[in-house]
Amino acid sequence: MKFRTDIACALGLLAGTTFGSGIAFLFGWQAYQALTSVSVFGVAGIMITIAVFRLLHHKSVSTSDPQ
């Protein structure tokens, strides 16, 4: 899969918001707490996924280098 920042952001946002809404549901949080949970985990998901994509991209570039 070709590295693209927009793909990483979309996947991270999807995973983070899904996780955040699940946490809010399990704790029975209402309105502001649930919104905060979804927002925080969404942003964290974006940052983590971009870092992972960059790491994988760096590994794929270094393994394809014949030197």
pLDDT band for position 7 (50/70/90)? Answer: confident
In this prediction, residue 24 carries a pLDDT of 94
Cα→Cα distances 48→5, 12, 53, Å: 12, 7, 9
Distance CA 35, CA 32 (A): 5
31 neighbors 15 (Cβ within 8 angstroms): no
pLDDT at 1 over 60: no
pLDDT tens across 12-31, in order? 999 999 999 999 999 999 99
Q: Structure pTM? A: 0.78
pLDDT at 3 over 70: no
Question: In 3-state terms, what secondary structure has residue 26?
Answer: helix
Higher-confidence position of 62 and 40: 40
42 neighbors 13 (Cβ within 8 angstroms): yes
